[in-house]
Amino acid sequence: MEERILLAHGSGGVLSHELVSEVFARQFSNPFLDDLGDAAVVRELPPGRLALTTDSYVVQPLFFPGGDIGKLAVCGTVNDLAVAGARPLYLTAGFILEEGLPLETLERVVASMAQTAREAGVVIVAGDTKVVEHGAADGLFINTAGVGVVPPGVDLSPARLRPGDALLINGPVGDHGLAVMLQREGLGFQSALQSDVAPLHGLIAALLEAVPGQVRCLRDATRGGLATVLNEWVLPPLVPPRGGEIGRMACETSPPLGGIEGGKIGIEIEEAALPVREAVRAACEFLGLDPLYAANEGKVVIAVAVEAAQAALAALRAHPLGQEATLIGHVTGEHAGRVVLRTLYGARRILPMLTGAQLPRIC
C-alpha cells in the first residue's frame, strides 16, 4: 500500500481495491458488507416505524481531545436516530478523501469508527469512497446514513409540548465545541477539557422505559447548542401544515399544539440551573463566546411532563452518560415564540436564534 492517498485510489482500479480490502473491509467486516455488492440486503426489521437520517462530518482537526471524526460520525448518526425514539440498527459511510492524506490517518479514523459502532451495537453495512484533488477536501470528509426502528407506542415530537412541561439535560454543555476550538487554534488553556462525543441511545432507551408516554420530545444539542434547540421548539415550522379539508378538520378538533405551530408556547430556563464546566465558562469568557450556543455531541435536551420530571431525572442519573442530569427550566404559556433566560440576578433576557457562526467546523 502507498503511504498517502493518491488520485488513483479513487479510479476503481488496483489501488481502489487495495484501499477497500485492506482498510475498510478489514475494519468494518460483517455479513452484510463482506459481499461488497452495490447495496446491502439486511434481515427483516423489528416491529415499528422506520427511522432514517443522514449527516456529513467536516470537523477540523480530525483528532481532538476525547474523539475524532470517525467516532463523531458514528455517534452523531446514532444520536439522531435515538432522539427520534428509534433503536439504531444500521449505518452507511461515505468517505471523501483528499489527495495526499496520510494512509495512517485514514486507518486510525476507520478503526475508531469500527470500534465505536461495535460499542454502540450498530452495523456499518455499506459505504463509498471518493478521492478529490489536493486542497479540495481539507483532508477527510465523512457522510453517514442511519437506519433504525421506532418501537410501537413511542411518539416524540415538538407538537406534544405543553405549558408546564419540564426541560432536562443530561449534563454540562459546550464541552465539544470548546475542546475542538482550543485544539484547532492551539490555545494553551490549562485544562483537561474533552469532547463529550458519545452514543446516547442507551441513555434514551432507559429514559423512555422509566417514564413511558411522558417524554414529549428530545433533541441532541449539536450545532447551535442548547439555545438553538430551544428556539427550534418554539418557532413556527419552516413548512406550514398542509391545507385542505383534512387539515381544517384537524385544526378544528385538535387541542392547541406546542412548538409545531409556533407562537403557542414559550420556554423559560434558569441560568443558575444550567450545567457548564468551569473550564468551558472560562474559555468562553476569554474568547467572547456563549456556552449556550456551543456545540455538544453527547447531550440530549428533554421535554417531559412535569409530573414525571423527578422519575426522568432519576433514570438519567442512573446511567453513566446522565450522572450530571439536571432540570433547567419549563415550557410556558407566556412570551410565546421566545426562549427566555432568567439570570442569576432575577432579570430576564431573550435567547434568540444564533446568527452567524460562533465555532465553525466543529461537527
Confidence class for position 3, pLDDT limits 50, 70, 90: very high
Please count the structural domains in the chain: 2
Task: Report the sign of the C-alpha dihedral through residues 176, 356, 97, 148, in that order.
Answer: positive
Q: How far apart are CA 251 and CA 261, in angstroms?
A: 11
* pTM: predicted TM-score of the whole model, two decimal places: 0.91
Confidence class for position 286, pLDDT limits 50, 70, 90: confident
Helix (H, G, I), strand (E, B) or coil at 267: strand
pLDDT digits (tens, 9 = 90+) for 127-143: 999 999 999 999 999 99
pLDDT digits (tens, 9 = 90+) for 291-318: 999 999 999 999 999 999 999 999 999 9
Q: Does the pLDDT at position 261 exceed 80?
A: no
From the number of C-beta atoms within 10 Å of its C-beta (0-12, 13-18, 19+), residue 281 rates as middle
For position 43, what pLDDT does the model report?
83
Residues 253, 123 share a domain: no
Residue 36 in any domain: the answer is yes
Residue 167: which CATH number?
Answer: 3.90.650.10
Strand order through the sheet with 49-57: 49-57, 140-150, 87-98, 123-132
Largest Cα–Cα distance of the chain, in whole Å? 67
- Residue 17, domain extent: 7-150
pLDDT digits (tens, 9 = 90+) for 141-165: 999 999 999 999 999 999 999 999 9
Residues 202, 125 share a domain: no
- Mean of the pLDDT values across residues 229-245? 71
- Per-state percent for the chain, helix, strand, coil, to nearest 5: 35, 25, 45
Q: Does the pLDDT at position 244 exceed 70?
A: no
Residues 141, 16 share a domain: yes
Q: Does the pLDDT at position 63 exceed 50?
A: yes
For position 226, what pLDDT does the model report?
97
Residues 162, 120 share a domain: no
Q: How far apart are CA 340 and CA 270, in angstroms?
A: 9
Residue 85 in any domain: the answer is yes
Residues 171, 253 share a domain: yes
Q: Which residues pair with 90 in a beta bridge?
A: 123, 147
Q: How far apart are CA 236 and CA 260, in angstroms?
A: 6
Q: How far apart are CA 214 and CA 202, in angstroms?
A: 18
Q: Does the pLDDT at position 253 exceed 60?
A: no
For position 246, what pLDDT does the model report?
38
Q: How far apart are CA 20 and CA 257, in angstroms?
A: 50
Q: Which of 29, 2, 148 is nearest to 77 (CA)?
A: 148
Whole-angstrom Cα Rg for the chain: 22
- Single out the residue in 115, 131, 150 at which a domain terminates: 150
Q: Which of 214, 217, 305, 302 is nearest to 259 (CA)?
A: 217
- Mean of the pLDDT values across residues 348-356? 87
Residues 323, 284 share a domain: yes
Q: How far apart are CA 346 and CA 228, in angstroms?
A: 22
| Entry field: residues in the chain | 363
Residues 286, 268 share a domain: yes
CB 284 within 8 A of CB 358: no
For position 264, what pLDDT does the model report?
85
Q: Which three cell numbers stand for residue 303?
A: 421535554
Which DSSP string do the residues of 132-196 spell out, in sequence order?
A: E-TTSSSSEEEEEEEEEEEPTT----GGG--TT-EEEESS-SSHHHHHHHHHHHT----S-----
Residues 108, 52 share a domain: yes
Q: What is the mean pLDDT of the chain?
A: 90
- Single out the residue in 150, 171, 206 at which a domain terminates: 150
For position 360, what pLDDT does the model report?
56
